[in-house]
């Protein structure tokens, strides 16, 4: 009887490890897809906002608008350089926070209250 116990213990461990790895991979994929979609929605909203305001302000060439346009161009550049397709990018969170900060700065310059919320059903950007 004592000879069988280690064998069953080892087999049970191997089966549990294989099942846990399989379930973990599936759960990780779901979480990654959901988190990636949220970040994509957030960044896409920032880009649409920045491009729209850039177009609106381009016609005005005074000093105040020049600074706003420069900040918008900077935000657009940061978003365009963001590595969307590299999930292993080690500075993803850091760069995302920089984009969020630049977005808040632009909103402040434009005297716009911004509130980006990510809900379970949809994303919203309110002004």
Q: What are the C-alpha distances in Å from 46 to residues 21, 50, 53, 106, 124?
A: 37, 6, 11, 10, 11
Question: Is 90 exceeded by the pLDDT of residue 87?
Answer: no
Is 1 a domain residue?
no
Question: What mean pLDDT value characterizes the chain?
Answer: 83
- Alpha helix locations (H) across 1-126? 4-57, 63-81, 92-109
| pLDDT score, position 5 | 62
Is 116 a domain residue?
no
What is the average per-residue pLDDT within 73-79?
97
Is 117 a domain residue?
no
Question: Is 80 exceeded by the pLDDT of residue 60?
Answer: no
Spell out the residues 6+ positions from residue 109 whose beta carbon is closer than 8 angstroms to its own: 67, 68, 71
Domain extent, residue 19, equals 8-110
Is 66 a domain residue?
yes
Is 118 a domain residue?
no
Is 23 a domain residue?
yes
Is 28 a domain residue?
yes
| pLDDT score, position 4 | 58
Q: How many domains are there within the chain?
A: 1
Residue 79 near residue 46, CB atoms below 8 Å: yes
Higher model confidence: residue 93 or residue 120?
93
Is 3 a domain residue?
no
């Amino acid at each position: 009887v004592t000879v069988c116990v280690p064998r069953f213990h080892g087999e049970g461990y191997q089966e549990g490890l294989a099942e846990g790895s399989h379930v973990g991979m599936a759960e990780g994929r779901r979480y990654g897809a959901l988190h990636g979609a949220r970040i994509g929605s957030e960044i896409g909203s920032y880009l649409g906002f920045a491009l729209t305001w850039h177009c609106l302000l381009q016609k005005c060439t005074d000093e105040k608008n020049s600074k706003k346009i420069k900040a918008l161009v900077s935000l657009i550049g940061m978003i365009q350089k963001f590595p969307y397709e590299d999930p292993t990018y080690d500075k993803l969170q850091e760069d995302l926070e920089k984009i969020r900060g630049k977005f808040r700065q632009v909103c402040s310059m434009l005297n716009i209250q911004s509130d980006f919320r990510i809900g379970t059903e949809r994303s919203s950007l309110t002004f």
